[in-house]
Amino acid sequence: MEINGKTRTCGLIGDPVEHTLSPVIHNTLAASLGQELVYVPFHVKQGKLAEAVRGAEALNILGLNVTVPYKSEVIACLTEIDELARNIGAVNTLVRTASGYKGYNTDMEGLYRAMQSEGIKIAGEEIILLGAGGAARAVAWLCTMRGARRVYLLNRTLDKAQTVAAEVNASAGREAVQPMRLADYAQIPKGKYLAIQGTSVGLSPNNEDVVIADDAFYEKVHTGFDLIYNPWETKFMRLVKAHGSRAYNGLKMLLYQGIIAYELWNGVEVSEDEAQMVYKRLKDVIT
Ligand code: NAP
């Protein structure tokens, strides 16, 4: 693409940002849709976030994605926040407005679109969610808002699971999320569950790590969804498949959270054909 006086800039702020795949998503979309836009990573060191957002506003940057460790901290830098992002307590997308930036959370809807595209149902389901960090928090909201019957929320640190459960249950007006200690997984009642792996265990280069290795756990899983996409197939996914069930990685979640951000920045709708084209590019980059 030729950069000219009308080219708009979007980007990612985080620490670190070197491993991001987001430039692949946005620059591929801009090229394919013929839009004058470039997307670049910005490494923002800790303590510099507010300055970075003010600087972005002064430079008239159209939009930003926000990654670890700033998804909560960035809320204090916004002039407006979408209600869903406020409820989740995490923002991963900033959209330029006349007065500053409005914050959104596209991770949650991104995961929903990813699940829909794989034919995975949430409404009426019994779900096991492993982890209670930033990503798992959004998953707990998604599952509850989309009508999961029950979510067993398991975390190594129990009080984090309890905090997330209390917030989601209060907002939903029902006791949908049950917090548990990770080590107590054997207490989950007999049944078949959708299991969502939302911890950072198993992330490359620790490809052989898995948050639960016990066969008895995997016998309860009818579908496994790992938010990790690097490696392509995590140990969690391998264990799910070894017990005869389907397993998916988090690449489509990454894809769709990016597509929703792109749509917000540019006021366009990205077609499913375009989405599949970007997915293929992403897959080529990581495999
Ligand atoms: P985070 O906020 O740092 O949370 C990490 C989670 O992992 C916590 O629940 C933590 O438990 C748990 N954990 C870490 N080490 C553990 C261990 N040794 N044993 C048991 N539990 C452990 O991270 P995050 O932002 O939620 O991200 C979590 C994962 O999701 C990452 O792998 C990330 O790559 C992935 N992700 C994917 C997408 C996507 O688009 N596909 C988007 C966002 C995140 P404690 O609370 O006990 O520390």
Read off the pLDDT of residues 55-65 as tens digits, 9 standing for 90 and up: 999 999 999 99
Domain at 19, CATH number: 3.40.50.10860
Q: Is residue 220 part of a domain?
A: yes
Nearest CA to ligand 1 atom 20: 156
How far, in Å, from the CA of 76 to the mean position of ligand 1? 23
Q: Is residue 1 part of a domain?
A: no
- According to DSSP, residue 189 is labeled P
* DSSP notation for 79-112: SEE-HHHHHHT---EEEE-SSSEEEE--HHHHHH
pLDDT tens readout for residues 102-156: 999 999 999 999 999 999 999 999 999 999 998 999 999 999 999 999 999 999 9
Determine if the pTM surpasses 0.75.
Answer: yes
Q: Is residue 68 part of a domain?
A: yes
Residue 231: its pLDDT value, please? Answer: 95
Q: Is residue 95 part of a domain?
A: yes
Domain at 203, CATH number: 3.40.50.720
Residues 140 and 175 in one domain: yes
Looking at every residue in the chain, the average pLDDT score rounds to 97
Residues 240 and 137 in one domain: yes
Residues 101 and 118 in one domain: no
In the predicted structure, residue 1 carries a pLDDT above the cut 80: no
How far, in Å, from the CA of 7 to the mean position of ligand 1? 36
Measured from the CA of 71, which atom of ligand 1 is nearest? 25
Measured from the CA of 249, which atom of ligand 1 is nearest? 41
Q: Is residue 155 part of a domain?
A: yes
Range of the domain at 135: 109-249
Residues 118 and 216 in one domain: yes
Residues 259 and 163 in one domain: no
Residues 282 and 170 in one domain: no
Residues 142 and 59 in one domain: no
Catalytic residue among 6, 45, 48, 71: 71
Give yes or no: 71 in active site: yes
Residues 232 and 269 in one domain: no
In the predicted structure, residue 76 carries a pLDDT above the cut 90: yes
Nearest CA to ligand 1 atom 17: 201
* Overall number of domains in the chain: 2
pLDDT tens readout for residues 209-265: 999 999 999 999 999 999 999 999 999 999 999 999 999 999 999 999 999 999 999
Residues 125 and 178 in one domain: yes
Q: Ligand 1: does its nearest atom lie under 6 Å from the Cβ of 211?
A: yes
Q: What share of the chain is helix, strand, coil (3-state, %, to 5)?
A: 40, 20, 40
On whether the CB atoms of residues 13 and 64 are closer than 8 A, the answer is: yes
Q: Ligand 1: does its nearest atom lie under 6 Å from the Cβ of 229?
A: yes
Share of the chain above pLDDT 70, in %: 100
How far, in Å, from the CA of 136 to the mean position of ligand 1? 7
Residues 93 and 125 in one domain: no
Pocket test of ligand 1: the residue of 155, 157, 199, 204 to mutate, having most ligand atoms within 8 Å of its CB, is 199
Q: Cα 73 from chain centroid?
A: 17
Rounded to an integer, what distance in angstroms lies between the CA atom of residue 88 and that of residue 23? 25
Q: Is residue 3 part of a domain?
A: no
How far, in Å, from the CA of 97 to the mean position of ligand 1? 31
How far, in Å, from the CA of 205 to the mean position of ligand 1? 15
Pocket test of ligand 1: the residue of 68, 118, 200, 234 to mutate, having most ligand atoms within 8 Å of its CB, is 200
In three-state secondary structure terms, 239 is helix
Residues 242 and 134 in one domain: yes
Q: Is residue 78 part of a domain?
A: yes
Task: Please give the C-alpha separations between residue 116 and each of 19, 248, 278, in angstroms, as whole numbers.
Answer: 27, 12, 17
